Amino acid sequence: MTKNYGVIIIGSGPAGYTAAIYAARSNLSVLVLQGYEVGGQLMQTSDVENYPGFETGILGPDMMEKFEAQARRFGAELIPEDAIEVDFSKRPFTVKTDTTEYRSRAVIIATGASAKWLGLPSEQQLRGRGVTACATCDGFFFKGKNVAVIGGGDTAMEEAIFLTRYADHVTLIHRRDSFRASKIMQNRAEANPKISFLMNHEVTEVLGNDSMNGLQVRNTKTGAEEKLAMDGLFLAIGHQPNTSLFKGIIEMDETGYIIPTEYTMTNIPGIFVAGDVSDHRYRQAVTAAGEGCRAAIDLERWLEEQGDEVGIENWD
């Protein structure tokens, strides 16, 4: 059976839920395909201290519960399934999950991005307890501590420099003997007395039980292993936007981020994008939520321009 909606929102992070709140309040019938990872990236973190309105901070999962409740309150229908196939070649657009086919006048893609991890079991066990992939989000918790950053690009340099505002010392660990970062960023990092460099090394284990207290590293040239006392580990080895479903359908950059062409609209009229899936620069809950709001407003105006009667879905 096919079900019709004014808009289908794919993704249930801050971008998707905010878009749902705005779209539902503008009298559109809204379906949010939440994905199997309901709530998005903030479900993986503990304290969120930089989202305005929560002056004493809030746990990531608690915050996403509030986003979800607010979207529900305005009548958005939420389904915890992944979109597995889309047909954006004509309107109404079609989005399929494992169980159902849905159609809508417009779509907002808010599928987010995933930080790349090393893939060590100990790294996953200590995620949120010393191990993180977001310096802007979590740097503040490492005041006066010893931390390591892994990576060799501009992001790794930026994050290492940023972390020196809080940490006593930052060790930049890189598995090769040279960085791929721009010279200017390298120079800035090298000039910072709080940063040291451990080249030709890779992390083989994150150490600690309740929280991280060290790293085991291997020299990639000699194979020699050693332990380093360390309070925090920041991964800066890149992010992967969740866009494989849209490859060959929507315009993306070379790394797979969706490029909006007019405000938040993609190259396909009626398909909009919001949040980390199109943002490799800011990657924050508040910017993702802001984008969700923009996408919903853009979509509503676009539907009006098309002469679509918002609120009526009897086009079968």
> Binding ligand FAD by CB under 6 A: which of 285, 295, 296, 299?
285
Residue 274 CB, shortest distance to ligand FAD, in Å, is 7
Question: Does residue 308 touch ligand FAD according to CB under 6 A?
Answer: no
Active site residue 138: yes
> Binding ligand FAD by CB under 6 A: which of 8, 159, 284, 295?
284
Q: Which CB atom, from 198 or from 295, has the smaller least distance to ligand FAD? A: 295
Q: Which secondary-structure segment (H or E) carries 279?
A: none
Helix, strand, coil percentages (3-state) for the chain, rounded to 5, are 30, 30, 45
> Binding ligand FAD by CB under 6 A: which of 5, 7, 8, 14?
14
DSSP state of 24: H
Question: Does residue 268 touch ligand FAD according to CB under 6 A?
Answer: no
Applying CB under 6 A, the span of 104-112, 154-162, 197-205, 300-308 interacting with ligand FAD comes to 104-112
Which burial class, exposed, middle or buried, applies to 247 when counting CB atoms under 10 A from its CB (0-12, 13-18, 19+)? exposed
Out of 82, 138, 231, 298, the active site residue is 138
Give the number of other CB atoms < 10 A from CB of residue 275.
Answer: 35
Question: Does residue 243 touch ligand FAD according to CB under 6 A?
Answer: no
Find where tokens 């992939």 sit.
Answer: 133
Out of 82, 87, 137, 210, the active site residue is 137
Applying CB under 6 A, the span of 5-13, 22-30, 178-186, 194-202 interacting with ligand FAD comes to 5-13
Hey, CA dihedral for 104, 265, 263, 39, is it positive or negative?
positive
Question: Does residue 235 touch ligand FAD according to CB under 6 A?
Answer: no
Dist CA 129 CA 246 (whole Å)? 34
Q: Which CB atom, from 35 or from 201, has the smaller least distance to ligand FAD? A: 35
Q: Which secondary-structure segment (H or E) carries 149?
A: strand 146-150
Residue pair 232/129 in contact by the 8 Å Cβ criterion: no
Out of 62, 82, 98, 134, the active site residue is 134
Per-residue x/- marks for ligand FAD, 29-58, CB under 6 A? ----xxx-xxxxxx-xx--x-xx-------
Active site residue 137: yes
**Residue 214 corresponds to which amino acid?**
G
Dist CA 52 CA 232 (whole Å)? 26
Dist CA 9 CA 16 (whole Å)? 6
Q: Which CB atom, from 111 or from 264, has the smaller least distance to ligand FAD? A: 111
Footprint of ligand FAD on 126-185 (CB under 6 A): 132-134, 137
Token pair listed for 234: 């920041």
> Binding ligand FAD by CB under 6 A: which of 92, 112, 139, 208?
112
Active site residue 308: no
DSSP state of 237: S
Which residues are known catalytic residues? 134, 137-138
